[in-house]
Structure 1
Amino acid sequence: MHPTEWILNHNQEQIILQANKLTLFQQCKIIECVGSDNLHYLLFFHKDDFLTVQPLVEFDQASFLGHLEQKGSCIHAPSPLFSLLLPAATSLKIISADALLTKIKKQYSSIETALIYSYFDSYIPSEQLDIFLKEIFYTFRRDGKLLAAYRLGIVLLSRGYQKEWLRSAIEHADYAHAKNHFQSPLITLMTTDPLYVEQQLFSSNNYTQLLELYQEQNRVIDSLILYINVFIKRPSPTEYKNLITVLNNTFTNDEILSFLRSLLPVVSTETGLHQDVYHRLIKNKETDAAVGLLFHYPFPLSKKDIRDLPELLNHLSISTLELSLQSITQRLLPLVRESPQTFEKIICATLPNLLNRHTLADIYTHLKLNEEISEIPSLSKISDMYHLVEDAENQLKLGMYYYDLGQYEKAIECFSWEMELHSNQVEPIQWLAKAYQKVGKHKEVETYHNLLKQMKHSS
């Protein structure tokens, strides 16, 4: 699954924005994007409503962006959540703070407008933002709406807008009754003050009640972000089942698979995630991806998985696998008993690649510890090669082994040594010509062909 992209029309040019990560903090979500101009941009949302796109700017840790970075819950691309929140290829544009304010005033209450506007404290001059928020606060007070004024104050403070004028204002004795109202249990405030309740639940990591609130408000994306973060923080088979249940209610099987694959690097193989993804890939006939997963993560295989492995491996180009020595013994050892032919096929196909990444001594030392695989022909070859390395009289044989495995430079070293020891023999020179031909060194090929002709004439 590729990262989701949108189109930003800015300064008479189109910039492709590619999703990087999605962060949830209280009622706000922000998608960080990388633009085709190599700059970073932020897509702002209030709940599920898209607000605007802005370039990423430097921000203070006490700002809203700082709180979001420190306390938010993140989902990294790729994920179907991005296009669910904002359809791919949507055309976007950057709007001014004044235009944004006009937009949100039409859609939200005064308190929610103030909250949303405060998200942009890294873009709006501090003095300008303070004037706007004070105007709303003191308008409530002048109109005798003390509870509304206190509600605005405590919502802004809870979101992290910690200004002295606001803290001192709501400490006034006139707000004693309003203060008592907010000291009630959160469950009793759910109907009258859902913004404040959500902020408190988010800050205290009260996932159970927060999920109930999201469900009541039909906020599917926020629920999914929360379930994912709970699973990442408390990975277990039980939490994984809970996550799958939620995903099944929202996404197609292909979307779920893409989503789960994005979680593979961040959770333990003991959760059941990796086995599930492995089986989903096989069901989708994505054999290369399934085998890649198999050799990259040490999740347990069932007896049926082991029995089915030879058939699975027969459907891909094994030579493209970059197997580690550890993965060979961990994953392929069971095949010696189930299907020695398949094991031999895999070792033969991957041996050249192994020799490119490991020394012959490393390969031999690692594999010789397993007595049950010592009779496999390709491993017998490795054993022969290892013992020939120190045998100066048999470098020709070692070179032929290397040549058969496509290790032409190493083969040339062996043939050259053999030629020095036995300069009157034709065979090492013939092999040198063949090996140089393989590496494209035609001048050397011609040199050894001429030497062979001279030897033939002189004999």
Structure 2
Amino acid sequence: MKTILLSSSHKKNDLCLTPARVVFYEQMQVIETYDDQAACYMLFFYKQKFLTAVKTKRMKVHSYLARSFREGTVYEAPHPFLQALVDSNTPLRKISYPQLKKKMERDFSRQEQAKILTYFESFIPKKQLFQDIKAIFYHYRREGSMSGAYRIIRVLIDFAPNNRFVKEVANDLSFRKIQGLYLEESKTIFERDSLFAEAKAAYDDRLLLLEKEKRWIEVSAYLMAALYDHPTSERYQAYRNFTQKYFDPGSRALLLEQLSRSIPALEGVTEDLLQQYLLDEKLKEIAFLFKERDVVLDEKQLGKVALLLEKDGFRTNPEQFSPIMKRLYSENPDQAGVLFEKYVAGLLEVLELEDVHNKLQEFPQKSPLARKIERMNQIREDLDCMQELGELYYEFNQLDRALECFQMEMELKPSDPEPLRWLSKVYADKQMIQESKTYQQLCVDVQKWA
């Protein structure tokens, strides 16, 4: 996850922030971030549009922000939804409260302005916020817009339900008819009050509303949350199609991984994740799915995995590919021959000879290579067989272990030129030319003395 650059009016006060998590709640998104001194900054968004950032030590327990983290959908960083919010709003600039109010007047409706102000209860005195929301209410009243004024009352009821003024205006008889329309959830109210319409919308209707307003990040988060609540193939296909449209392959892989961990039984997720890993040539991740999710590779996929393994699959942890190798070898041992040799050589790099032998016992049939390993395991402590063991190690390109065997054979049989000849050969293969020449000369001298 990238760090987030938060700029300010004074360039020297620009901050490089590390994101921790993001929450989606109603129309709000908040990213929790930290600077290099561990100070917390909350980055506020409304309908995916950046508002401002606020430094904080704590949030009030009963504030709107605290409620959002309790009741909203939280995603830990790194997460594609979080990154998408940042990328779609870059550059992010921290502004003051007066500047925020001016910005809101340009970009949002009065009802939205009132709603947004409630987000900052933990940081701006509640009395100040209340007065600013109240001013919006009176603005509607002066214009004679009773429906607009009542929309602000509904914000105030949620923000300060016990306030005397709020109680009085909420029970004003002049709003009785509008109250009735809200209780009836009439079509008129849905047309006038977009926030109420969104809150009451059914699953499909809310998706249409969000898409109509081009809030694609919120659509993605909503689809994912819906999958967690009620995982079905239909919902997964909708989620899959949407994320394919808006997210790059790397982000889609992260989203699929999250779903695979959370809902491993959801039909289609593991298969799509496997396909993404194949496209990205992520061998380690493919091996994990093969082992933990019991995926079935078709012939084409198995061929692709074989090519990737042949390329560089056994350099670090060949053990993780044992389940795949068993499948490849059992289906076509002749075709898997070269690959199997690399696999065995990889095992010898990281395991003791006895452990390699035990690992190969798990394979369905013994190959010539497995029989060689079996022979090596039989003679590994037999001093009379060090020459043979060294030559077998050499066949598997285990040059250092081969050297150990030939050096021991040289000590045991100082008049025998054969181990010296092999020592010269192995050092030449290791590009250690001086050592190779030394043993070559020793071999010549021993032959002369014989």
SS of the counterpart of 1:29?
strand
1:56-104 CA-to-partner distances (Å, cap 9, x unmatched) read: 644336355544444433455564884587448x434322222122211
CA shift in 2, pair 1:41/1:333, >3 Å: same
Check if 1:296 corresponds to 2:288: yes
Q: Which amino acid aligns with 2:333?
A: P
Counterpart in the other structure of 1:342 = 335
1:8–1:92 CA contact under 8 A, matched in 2:
yes
Tell me which of 365, 370, 379 is aligned to 2:358: 365
Tell me which of 392, 405, 424 is aligned to 2:396: 405
Q: Which runs of 5+ in 1 are unaligned?
A: 157-164
Q: Which stretch has the larger CA shift, 79-88 or 409-418?
A: 79-88
Q: Which amino acid aligns with 2:162?
A: R
Q: Which amino acid aligns with 1:151?
A: R
**What is the CA-CA distance between 1:222 and the residue it aligns to?**
1.3
Counterpart in the other structure of 2:105 = 105
CA shift in 2, pair 1:428/1:245, >3 Å: same
For residues 41 and 446 of structure 2, what CA distance do their matches in structure 1 show? 72
Counterpart in the other structure of 2:156 = 153
**What is the CA-CA distance between 1:218 and the residue it aligns to?**
4.8
1:4–1:78 CA contact under 8 A, matched in 2:
no
SS of the counterpart of 1:30?
strand
Q: Which stretch has the larger CA shift, 12-21 or 407-416?
A: 12-21
CA shift in 2, pair 1:60/1:280, >3 Å: closer
Q: Which amino acid aligns with 1:400?
A: E
Equivalences for residues 365-384 of structure 1 within 5 A: 365-372=358-365, 374-375=366-367, 377-384=368-375
2:379–2:385 CA contact under 8 A, matched in 1:
yes
**What is the CA-CA distance between 1:355 and the residue it aligns to?**
2.9
**What is the CA-CA distance between 1:261 and the residue it aligns to?**
0.9
SS of the counterpart of 2:44?
strand
1:199-258 CA-to-partner distances (Å, cap 9, x unmatched) read: 688xxxx7556435435645332121111233355555443222124346x44xxx4644
Counterpart in the other structure of 1:137 = 134
SS of the counterpart of 2:336?
helix
SS of the counterpart of 2:388?
helix
CA shift in 2, pair 1:59/1:175, >3 Å: same
Q: Which amino acid aligns with 2:170?
A: Y
Equivalences for residues 275-290 of structure 1 within 5 A: 275-279=271-275, 286=279, 288-289=281-282
**What is the CA-CA distance between 1:39 and the residue it aligns to?**
8.7
Check if 1:211 corresponds to 2:203: no
Tell me which of 394, 400, 406 is aligned to 2:385: 394
Counterpart in the other structure of 2:415 = 424
Q: Which amino acid aligns with 2:156?
A: G
For residues 423 and 258 of structure 1, what CA distance do their matches in structure 2 show? 60
Counterpart in the other structure of 1:175 = 170
Equivalences for residues 46-85 of structure 1 within 5 A: 46-52=46-52, 54=53, 57-60=56-59, 62=61, 64-74=64-74, 77=78, 79=80, 82-83=83-84
**What is the CA-CA distance between 1:368 and the residue it aligns to?**
0.7
What is the total number of aligned residue pairs between the two structures? 428
CA shift in 2, pair 1:367/1:230, >3 Å: farther
Counterpart in the other structure of 1:159 = none
Tell me which of 256, 269, 292 is aligned to 1:264: 256
Counterpart in the other structure of 1:114 = 114
1:425-448 CA-to-partner distances (Å, cap 9, x unmatched) read: 333344445555666778866775
SS of the counterpart of 1:24?
strand
Q: Which amino acid aligns with 2:342?
A: A
2:39–2:56 CA contact under 8 A, matched in 1:
no
For residues 265 and 306 of structure 1, what CA distance do their matches in structure 2 show? 24
For residues 218 and 405 of structure 1, what CA distance do their matches in structure 2 show? 59
1:137–1:152 CA contact under 8 A, matched in 2:
no
For residues 421 and 269 of structure 1, what CA distance do their matches in structure 2 show? 61
Check if 1:26 corresponds to 2:20: no
1:111-160 CA-to-partner distances (Å, cap 9, x unmatched) read: 422332333445x34x3x4323245338748969784453122343xxxx
**What is the CA-CA distance between 1:358 and the residue it aligns to?**
3.2
Q: Which amino acid aligns with 1:60?
A: M
CA shift in 2, pair 1:412/1:34, >3 Å: farther
**What is the CA-CA distance between 1:47 and the residue it aligns to?**
0.5
Q: Which amino acid aligns with 1:153?
A: L
For residues 181 and 80 of structure 1, what CA distance do their matches in structure 2 show? 39
Q: Which runs of 5+ in 2 are unaligned?
A: none
SS of the counterpart of 2:183?
coil
**What is the CA-CA distance between 1:45 and the residue it aligns to?**
1.9
SS of the counterpart of 1:60?
coil
The alignment's TM-score, normalised by the length of structure 2, stands at 0.74
Q: Which amino acid aligns with 1:383?
A: E
1:264–1:273 CA contact under 8 A, matched in 2:
yes
CA shift in 2, pair 1:212/1:32, >3 Å: same
**What is the CA-CA distance between 1:332 and the residue it aligns to?**
3.3
Greater relative CO, 1 or 2 (CA 8 Å, sep 6+): 1
CA shift in 2, pair 1:326/1:28, >3 Å: same
Instruction: Please report the RMSD computed on the Cα atoms of aligned residues, expressed in angstroms.
Output: 4.5
Counterpart in the other structure of 2:221 = 225
For residues 171 and 39 of structure 1, what CA distance do their matches in structure 2 show? 36
1:264-296 CA-to-partner distances (Å, cap 9, x unmatched) read: 3321265322323444676xxx4734x554323
2:3–2:17 CA contact under 8 A, matched in 1:
yes
Counterpart in the other structure of 2:238 = 242
CA shift in 2, pair 1:135/1:28, >3 Å: closer
1:59–1:66 CA contact under 8 A, matched in 2:
no
CA shift in 2, pair 1:421/1:233, >3 Å: farther
Check if 1:356 corresponds to 2:349: yes
